[in-house]
Structure 1
Amino acid sequence: MARFQKTAAVKRFLMIGDSKLVSYDNLTALSGAQVEFIAPLAASATDTAVFAALDPATAERVDYVPVRVADRPTMDRPDYRVLEDTHTLTGKRRSDPPITVRRILVHSAGNALAQAKARVGVRALMQGSVRADVQRSSGVSVRCSGVMGGAWR
């Protein structure tokens, strides 16, 4: 980092990386070099308890309209909300000092709706699979009705 800063003749710069950047070792090196960074982290990499504990009333609405829905009426556009907090990472060794980073959590009503639709699709596929398995093994036509029980995520 220091060599890059010297070559670029800048004292302060912003590094934009991908999700592979988010590790204790990388963030410690960037912080030590006083480099600011932005990196996305998939929601699946964040503990679900973090999302469950969030208060939607405290989230700030963001004025963002994706190009794919720009032609829709305002009421049909997804709502985007953000919350900011901090997250502390620890290293593999006990002697590694913890490092605290700023985290911005983004909620998209459009993504949430798509995920809910996908879960319904998985249920339908599972019901169809069960129906086909029973028909194959018994030669009897089976009609599934209702929603399968259990938690689907």
Structure 2
Amino acid sequence: MAIPGYDSSTVDEFTLEHVGARVDVVAGVVPERFGLRKSDRDPPVDALADPVDVVALEDVKAVEAMQIALVYDPSQLPPGASPTDVAVAARTDDGWEPLESTVDLEETTVTATLNDLPPGSTVVAGYDDSDDGNGDEVV
């Protein structure tokens, strides 16, 4: 997976195959211990995959771009939910915050592309109906 607009030789890639997670980052400093691991956190109610921790996120400096891609299970969507209402969500002090994301229905992945660090180091693919007009954020 390439971050659009960046030469692949400038992108550091980290993959955690057994949970279907990948992070690509373009930054001035990416520490050697940076990577991914399965999280011990409880997933949100509407999670469509297991949460993943981005390890040593706080040590990444001068971020130009970061792309987080997660595999999700579409069979876990609530009845009647649109398959495009899936987002990467980051765990913050206030709960799970959905990030602007793109869904690949064929690959059953959801991807968030950021120009900075995510608001939290634990991420998950989840159902997000925050654009349905009722103001509820389910993730």
Tell me which interval the TM-score lies in, with the shorter structure as reference length.
Answer: under 0.3
Q: Which is richer in strand?
A: 2
Which structure has the larger Rg? 1
Q: Which is richer in helix?
A: 1
The TM-score, its normalising length taken from structure 2, stands at: 0.27
